[in-house]
Amino acid sequence: MKKYNVAVVGATGVVGRKMTEVLQERKIPVENFYPMASKKSAGSKVEFNGKQWTVEELTENSFNKDIDFALFSAGGSTSEKYAPIAAENNVVVIDNSSAWRMDKNVPLVVPEVNAEAALKHNGIIANPNCSTIQAVVALKPIYDNYGIKRIIYSTYQSVSGSGLKGIKDLEEGIKGCEPEFYPVQIAFNCIPHIDVFFENGYSKEELKMINETQKIFDDYDIKITATTVRVPVYYAHSESINVETKKPFDIKDIFRTYDEMKGVVLMDDLDNLIYPTPVEAAGSDEVYVGRIRRDFSIENGLNMWVVADNVRKGAATNAVQIAEYLISQGEFDK
Ligand code: A2P
């Protein structure tokens, strides 16, 4: 069996470490593994497939070697600079930052929704925002079966979405320390502010959800609005999703669809108090769907509650699934 040479850029970060773990879990056949990070971490070790690999400093020369694909999760400015350098060296980049997501020449891929788009890459493929990924997985059958007119997203996002700094602010905040990363305390609080604000009053996270959903469905007529909120949860994002469909639906069919859908776990049994929560979704690759009910305030309205591990399906797992898809299509055999 062919083995691949793989780099993880940002290998010492929350998502980079998870990418390394998920590559092993999913048994991606890897010959040489290249963990990369900033100068600060150069020389440290990362365990992969039972071997210790030395972290190298990311430089312009890092891709002057035989690498099939590189999973990037080292922030937007690092991706902006180094993803094109990697691509010029024939390394296929799967980038977890927001740097390239809206670029017309860069496919934005969630394998359950638009896997084939990955094959149209020009060296860079973007992994969507964590909140977008879990939302579009849940919305895919609704879109296919009934069409979507409008979506209202309200999110409850965990601190691991901010990387190690976010996790530390919650850990220390619980002990009574002042926040160092978030503008206000995150412990015992909710912050309606993720990423920077724009003049129109939206946060960048909210605009990411809106723009990325349209790009992934390749449908710019869907009307979308979003409110994104950081909550004191370590792992897994939760979302209230309100959808207005084009065609009428039978709620029983929606339950049946999620019950049978690969990649989704239906948790919806109110008599037995069964619904998804972040604690249950953390550590899993599935998207959990529950609290499914008709929105009686409009003709074709649907409410649901969608929970997924933001570091896994929202980032690392989705990136590795894109790599798996490319491997399955013989992308690195050319
Ligand atoms: P390092 O640990 O050496 O700083 P997180 O978002 O969880 O904090 O992780 C960010 C990841 O991105 C880390 O692996 C970090 O490496 C890496 N990183 C940050 N800035 C750079 C950079 N300029 N070049 C390479 N890697 C970077």
What single-letter amino acid sits at 76? G
For residue 13 and ligand 1, the question of a CB distance below 6 A is answered with yes
End-to-end CA distance of the chain: 15
Domains and their CATH numbers in the chain? 4-127+315-328 (3.40.50.720), 131-309 (3.30.360.10)
**Per-residue DSSP letters for 179-224?**
PSSSSS--TT--BS--S-B-TTS-BHHHHHHHHHHHHHHT-TT-EE
- Please enumerate in sequence order all residues whose Cβ is within 8 A of that of 9, keeping only pairs 6 or more positions apart, or say none: 16, 36, 37, 58, 70, 71, 72, 73, 74, 78, 82
Q: Which atom of ligand 1 is nearest to the CA of 12?
A: 14
Active site includes 121? no
Q: Please name every residue paired with 36 in a beta bridge, in sequence order, or none if there are none.
A: 9, 56
Active site includes 193? no
Written as six digits, the tokens of 189 are: 């609080």
For residue 81 and ligand 1, the question of a CB distance below 6 A is answered with no
Q: Are 243 and 301 in contact (CB under 8 A)?
A: yes
Q: Are 68 and 2 in contact (CB under 8 A)?
A: no
Q: Tens-digit pLDDT profile for the chain (334 aa)?
A: 899 999 999 999 999 999 999 999 999 999 999 999 999 999 999 999 999 999 999 999 999 999 999 999 999 999 999 999 999 999 999 999 999 999 999 999 999 999 999 999 999 999 999 999 999 999 999 999 999 999 999 999 999 999 999 999 999 999 999 999 999 999 999 999 999 999 999 999 999 999 999 999 999 999 999 999 999 999 999 999 999 999 999 999 999 999 999 999 999 999 999 999 999 999 999 999 999 999 999 999 999 999 999 999 999 999 999 999 999 999 998 7
Q: Whose CA is nearest to atom 2 of ligand 1?
A: 12
Q: Which atom of ligand 1 is nearest to the CA of 9?
A: 26
The Cα 214–Cα 220 span in angstroms is: 5
The Cα 307–Cα 282 span in angstroms is: 9
For residue 42 and ligand 1, the question of a CB distance below 6 A is answered with no
Determine what percent of the chain falls in helix, strand and coil, rounding each to the nearest 5: 35, 25, 40
For residue 41 and ligand 1, the question of a CB distance below 6 A is answered with yes
Instruction: Give pTM, 2 decimals.
Output: 0.97
